[in-house]
Amino acid sequence: MADTASFEPVAVEARYPAPRAGIDPDPAKGWLRRVWPLVAARRGLLLGSLALALVALGAQVAAPAVLAAAIDSSLVDGSAPLGPFVVTLIILGVARGLFAGAYRYGLALMALRIETDLRATLYRHLTTLSFGFYDRVQSGQIISRANSDIRSVQMVLAFAPLMGLSILMFVLAFVIMLRIDVPLTLLAVAPLPFVYLLGVRLRNQIFPLSWITQARAADLATIVDENVHGVRVVKSFAQEQRQLEQLARSAQRLRWANLVTVDTRSRYAPVMENLPRVGLVVVLLYGGWLVIDGQLDLGVLVAFNAYILMMQTPFRVLGFFMMLTQRAAASAERIFEILDEAPDVCERPGAPDLVASHGSVSLRDVHFGYGDGPDVLRGLDLDVAAGETVALVGRTGSGKSTVARLIGRFYDVRSGSVRIDGTDVRDVTLASLRAAVGLVLDEPFLFSASVHDNIAYGRPDASRADVEAAAHAAQAHGFVTALPDGYDTVVGERGYTLSGGQRQRIAIARTLLVNPPLVILDDATSAIDVGVESQIHEALDALLAHRTTLVIAHRLSTIALASRVVLLVDGRVAATGTHTELMATEPRYAAVLAHAEEAR
């Protein structure tokens, strides 16, 4: 064993910085308080933008006072030239424009960086979650949370400082107006309490609607994701029209939620926006009478009206902002559902690395089942010596693939233990364990990347010669060189531009390139014709000679790779021996093979 910090299964240079902070882990806090560490990590941009905003706000608030002085001194009294006032107003206008543009850019940049940090935080957490989480959560739900939900949060974080500045402008304008004329100010703000009450009612109605909208958007994303990935199944059963109807039904449910949200906002927002203008009408009537009566200067009334317009700014967007905040609150809760999810499989603190592994495997009295379901393995005992090649044989559901997943610790046993080189897999780091276990599945996944990059996925720094050597061993070199761009050919999504057998050979090459001490072939040649399979086996015989290999097999040709065969029945080892011995002494073994041959 070695120190954890010394182990690095794949040497990849980090090109992008990690998020500066994460969310607050306390689920009892409100969503904004939980997101605040991400905002605080960008406080330089936030504070700088707010400083620029204050300058722009100062220029905006000063302009009506200069305008009042210009009207009273130059136009009414004629006691001062108009030119200096015009120049001052131009300077204030230019300053406000420049500083407003700068602070808006800074706030947008801050919000986008927080969005990036939140998305990286979510994805980083997704990589820590166990297979059990992905077994029960739809991929469309995850995609929706990683995109539209995060964008909803980002929009509020970008808009909230602007709303805060509008409120500050309201306060400044209110104070200045009080200094001009108290009764006139009170008339101007009289409708505002009613605006607040309407805003509270709007908020209470928008939150559940926002949650429904985001949830139905996620449902729609799930249907699209399943139809794209399952397009071959859809077409093979000629079910295009059925899927279109399913998509239309989901889209209609989303449309209904959006329409109800828009309808709710449309009933409140216009009233909230126009109520402050009632105060403006009253001010014009009462203020005009004061000007006519000589109790108020004309320039002061013009400035007063300008300040009223400033006071109205936050109320003109209050309905929209409340909709944004409620949608963000609902989206944040959906994001936190994932971030608060604890991995089922965790490293214990201070776990050492599994290094210099010889590959011996031992399972002792293992009981395991998926989720809350019944046990698939029921007291399984299995030993595989270092360097031995063992075939696991059994009917569907006997637990063969489950054994492979437990050895790689993709799931934890309910009871018993899984050991490699005598060490419980729960006592070593996951990275070192999975670097020691090479798993080739019967349905290999390929990325939409070049053939070279797919084979070199476990060793990104591998040379072309090493990649070609692994492809030769997997009998993939011939068809790869026949592709339009050879090893630089980009395969389609999930590798569907290749045949099933070609994908399996690339997956085998990918594992062989990593060269792990323990290899598990989970029916890895099921889609390969017998002639090519025999060539792969000839290459594998030499490559697997000095490593531990567990072969999950149905074909006799695959079983021939193994020096020993283990028969699983109902989650237990029913018999073990060579193929010849089991054929002669174990009728259940012969029945399994006969059934497999009939199913082909």
pLDDT digits (tens, 9 = 90+) for 145-181: 888 888 888 888 888 888 888 888 888 888 888 888 7
How many C-beta atoms lie closer than 10 Å to residue 422's C-beta? 8
Q: Is the model's pLDDT at 119 over the cut of 80?
A: yes
Beta-bridge partners for 572 = 569
Check residue 51 and give its pLDDT: 93
Whose structure tokens read 């560490």?
37
**How confident is residue 568, by pLDDT bands cut at 50, 70 and 90?**
very high
CB 361 within 8 A of CB 444: no
Q: pLDDT band at 491, cuts 50/70/90?
A: confident
pLDDT tier at 1, thresholds 50, 70, 90 = very low
**Which pLDDT does position 532 carry in this prediction?**
62
114: buried, middle or exposed (CB in 10 Å: 19+, 13-18, 0-12)?
buried
pLDDT of 5 reads: 42
Residue 14 clears pLDDT 70, i.e. is over it: no
Q: Which of 285-294, 386-395, 485-494 has the lowest average pLDDT?
A: 285-294
Q: What is the pLDDT of residue 326?
A: 81
Look at 305-309, 353-357, 493-497, 502-506 and tell me which has the smallest mean pLDDT: 493-497
Q: Which residue has the higher pLDDT, 545 or 144?
A: 144
Q: Judging by beta carbons within 10 Å of its beta carbon (0-12, 13-18, 19+), is residue 451 exposed, middle or buried? A: buried
pLDDT at 296 over 80: no
pLDDT at 527: 53
Q: What angle do the packed helices 192-229 and 318-339 form, to 10 degrees?
A: 40
Among 320-324, 398-402, 420-424, whose mean pLDDT is lowest?
A: 320-324
pLDDT at residue 525, as a whole number: 60
Count of other CB atoms within 10 angstroms of residue 477: 19
Q: Which one has a higher pLDDT value, 575 or 598?
A: 575
Amino acid identity of residue 124, one-letter, is R
Complete domains list, the chain, with CATH: 31-339 (1.20.1560.10), 361-599 (3.40.50.300)
Which of 49-58, 436-445, 486-495 is most confident? 49-58
Question: CB neighbours of 188 closer than 8 A, spacing ≥ 6?
Answer: 177, 279, 280, 282, 283, 308, 311
Q: Which of 253, 247, 244, 186 is nearest to 216 (CA)?
A: 253
Pair of tokens at residue 122: 């979510």
| Nearest residue to 191 via CA among 179, 199, 203 | 199
Say which range, 104-108, 161-165, 292-296, 422-426, has the weakest mean pLDDT. 292-296
The alpha carbon dihedral of 515, 517, 520, 521 has a sign of positive
DSSP string across 86-109: HHHHHHHHHHHHHHHHHHHHHHHH
Q: Reply yes or no on whether the pLDDT at 204 is more than 70.
A: yes
pLDDT, tens digit, for every residue of 15-56? 667 788 888 889 888 888 999 999 999 999 999 999 999 999
**Local confidence band at 140 (pLDDT 50, 70, 90 cut-offs):** confident
| Whether residue 6 has pLDDT greater than 70 | no
| Three-state SS at 440 | strand
| Percent of the chain whose predicted confidence (pLDDT) is above 70 | 90
Query: Nearest-CA neighbor of 493 among 485, 503, 508?
Result: 503
Are 382 and 571 in contact by the 8 Å Cβ rule? The answer is no
Q: Indicate the SS3 state at residue 42.
A: coil
120 touches 333 (CB < 8 A)? no
Phi then psi dihedrals of residue 109, to 5 deg: -65, -40
Any long-range contacts for 131-135 (C-beta under 8 Å, 24+ apart)? 131/405, 131/410, 131/411, 132/344, 132/370, 132/371, 132/411, 133/341, 133/343, 133/344, 135/370, 135/371
Q: If you average pLDDT over each of 304-308, 353-357, 486-490, 512-516, which comes out highest?
A: 486-490
Q: Which of 13-17, 286-290, 364-368 has the lowest mean pLDDT?
A: 13-17
- pLDDT, mean over the chain: 83
Question: What is the model's pLDDT at position 533?
Answer: 63
What is the model's pLDDT at position 271? 78
Mean pLDDT of all residues in 536-556:
73
Q: For the beta carbon of residue 247, count every other beta carbon within 10 angstroms.
A: 14
